[in-house]
Amino acid sequence: MIFLSVALVALLWERLEGIPFQLRAIPIGVLVLSVLFAAYAYGRRREVSELKGLLRGLQEHVGAAPSEEQLDQLSQVIMRSQRNFKELIDSLDDPACAVSLDGTLRTVNRRVAELTGLTYSQLVGSKVYDLLEEPAREEVERGLGRFLEKKRWTGTVRIRLKNSSRPLYFDCVLNGIVKGDEVVGASVLGRDVTEQREKELRFTELFETLQEGVYFSTPEGQLLDANPALVSMLGYPEKGELLSLEPAALSFDSGPAVLGRAVDDRGGVRTREIKLRRKDGKPAIFLDSSRAVWDAAGNIIRYQGTLVDITEKRNMERQLAQQEEFRSRLLESFPDLILVVDLEERYTFVSSRAQALLGYGPDEMLGRKISEMADHAPDLVSLYHTLVSGDQAFGAAEYGTRHRDGNGRTMRAAGSQLADAEGKISGVIFSVRDITIERKLEQQVVESERLAAMGAMIGGVAHELNNPLTSILGVSELLQDTETNETSRKQLGMLQQQARRAADIVQNLTYFSRPPAPGKSRINLVEIVERTLNLHAYSLRKNNITVDFLKETGMPYALGDPHQLMQVFLNLIVNAEQAIREARDRGTLRIRLGKGNGTVWVSFHDDGPGIPKENLPSIFDPFFTTKRPGRGTGLGLSICKSVMKEHNGSVEAANAPDGGAVFTVTLPLAGVS
């Protein structure tokens, strides 16, 4: 049909050459846009057949001049066709025009008038370059040569009209208007692709400027395109080098390509963390989010995705985790208990030392209020309030608290304010140390210094008493020898006896208070026990304690330090005395000796309450005491134990079947090491 119309119009044009001038003035565009007209003409068969009829008539009378009537008829048909044609090109939504080679507009349609804001009559005959800012005349003329040669040109043209700053884009088809062999103009039909082009431009701009990496790849993971951000993230100087890489060059292991997908992959959105090899060989970690692009037949043609570089983030996370690990290890290995208390008085951090110091696991304390804890210390609470009120930034307190096992503990807490990011007080951090042993040692030092001073004093006094006693003994003996009066002799005998007793006590005192003799010697255990009993005889008598001491005869010598052994025995005797007094106001201390295999032993059996079963494993521990403060330090038995260990002997405790406690001291025989 189209060809038919073109042929028809061309034929018509030949005939029109011969008709009057006004008919030849038919705009050149009629011919140019004949293709469009052909389509239109299909619906106008009546006019065509009319034309055909006229044509036939003309052909029949060829050679003869057409009649006036025929010419009128022809003119009318052509005018009508022209009108219809105009309607046709006006009905197009795309701009269409015909322009002569010098840029004069010959025909325009409604869309051109709308775009330029001018009327038809203003447009037709005007120069196209007067309407356009872009493209410039020189630019058009540069391409003119090739157009004249090919008589056709297609492409996208960026147009900026003089009355507007917004660039418009048209997909144009230019066909040459040929007269004879010569191209005299061009028909232009444009399709407005501005919106599409703007979208593309926006996308390109986004692609080029996005901070995140954007890529297109084959399903096998071969990069097809990458934006500048990705190129630089992977450390390449330019895109070409990156795109020329084999997929394997981007990965660290020999597995499937990092960006690729398996054949059975459905192409849906996939987000995951990946590691790519940079140009410098270092790893870069990305968050990859990609999906497939399908063709019209539903086949996956490529993948498109974004890559967010999270290497720094991951490194920071790793560093943070390391710092966190370091911090928690530091806190956990710290000998002090670390506590953090918020403004609501609640524990927000408790280090694991809590278990050893207080008997509570951190989980049992977290979230609880500082004043709510069992056996909480008011001193710690008041230190907390001083710090959160802002009166003091740092502070310390020493306080007594109770371990979960019931034992009293002395603690020292150093606290300081905690501030949030804005510098406001957000809580308090405490470092708490158990100073129970420290304090007890201090007490012990004071006590032993007191005892040492007393020992020295007793030694001095004993020494001073020795001389008068020696005189009393000597003189009384002399007097007894010369005295004849029986009564007086008896009295002198009594005097002598008491003086000797006093001298014995004094000797024991010097023995006890003398500085420890270095080294061990052969000792008679009976004698050492007796000396100790003598020293403590007054106290035992006063407390109504009867000593049942079976002095074995013929006991072999033991090897030991008499001074240290006296201390051990005195400790055991004092403990027995205290235990009996605790239960009743009189009692018996039974002391027995015996021989073992290469050993000698001595046992102290009291009739006190005995040792509670649960305490038996602890009584030899330093500072273990069930006595009230000031009465016991809990060190007596531990000293006994270390003395006996040093003697290669032992001290053991048990409860006797008939009641009371039995302490047995065992020593090696002299001559047996």
Binding site for ligand ADP (CB under 6 A): 571, 575-576, 579, 606, 608, 611, 615, 619, 624-627, 632-638, 661
From CA 506, how far away is CA 609, in angstroms rounded?
A: 34
Non-local (6+) Cβ contacts of 373 within 8 A are: 360, 365
Of 159 and 579, the one with the shorter C-beta distance to ligand ADP is 579
From CA 374, how far away is CA 370, in angstroms rounded?
A: 9
Q: Parallel, antiparallel, or unpaired: how do β-strands 182-192 and 96-100 relate?
A: antiparallel
Minimum distance from residue 523 beta carbon to ligand ADP (Å): 23
Of 234 and 661, the one with the shorter C-beta distance to ligand ADP is 661
Of 31 and 643, the one with the shorter C-beta distance to ligand ADP is 643
Strand partners, 606: 589
> Greatest CA separation found in the chain?
210
Secondary structure E strands in 258-354: 270-277, 283-294, 300-309, 337-342, 347-350
Secondary structure E strands in 457-562: 521-523, 545-549, 558-560
DSSP 230-245: HHHHTT-SSHHHHHTS
Of 177 and 591, the one with the shorter C-beta distance to ligand ADP is 591
Of 497 and 615, the one with the shorter C-beta distance to ligand ADP is 615
Q: At what angle do helices 34-42 and 2-16 cross, to 10 degrees?
A: 120
CA distances for 422 relative to 74, 243, 391, 419, angstroms: 95, 49, 19, 8
From CA 242, how far away is CA 194, in angstroms rounded?
A: 33
Minimum distance from residue 645 beta carbon to ligand ADP (Å): 15
Question: Do 189 and 96 touch, CB atoms closer than 8 A?
Answer: yes
Minimum distance from residue 564 beta carbon to ligand ADP (Å): 16
Strand partners, 300: 294
Of 40 and 604, the one with the shorter C-beta distance to ligand ADP is 604
Minimum distance from residue 636 beta carbon to ligand ADP (Å): 3
Of 392 and 448, the one with the shorter C-beta distance to ligand ADP is 448
CA distances for 444 relative to 100, 421, 578, angstroms: 121, 48, 20
From CA 15, how far away is CA 64, in angstroms rounded?
A: 13
From CA 673, how far away is CA 657, in angstroms rounded?
A: 33
- Sequence letter at residue 390: G
Minimum distance from residue 616 beta carbon to ligand ADP (Å): 9
From CA 447, how far away is CA 517, in angstroms rounded?
A: 22
Minimum distance from residue 562 beta carbon to ligand ADP (Å): 21
From CA 421, how far away is CA 79, in angstroms rounded?
A: 87
Of 432 and 661, the one with the shorter C-beta distance to ligand ADP is 661
Of 166 and 628, the one with the shorter C-beta distance to ligand ADP is 628
Minimum distance from residue 592 beta carbon to ligand ADP (Å): 15
Of 381 and 576, the one with the shorter C-beta distance to ligand ADP is 576
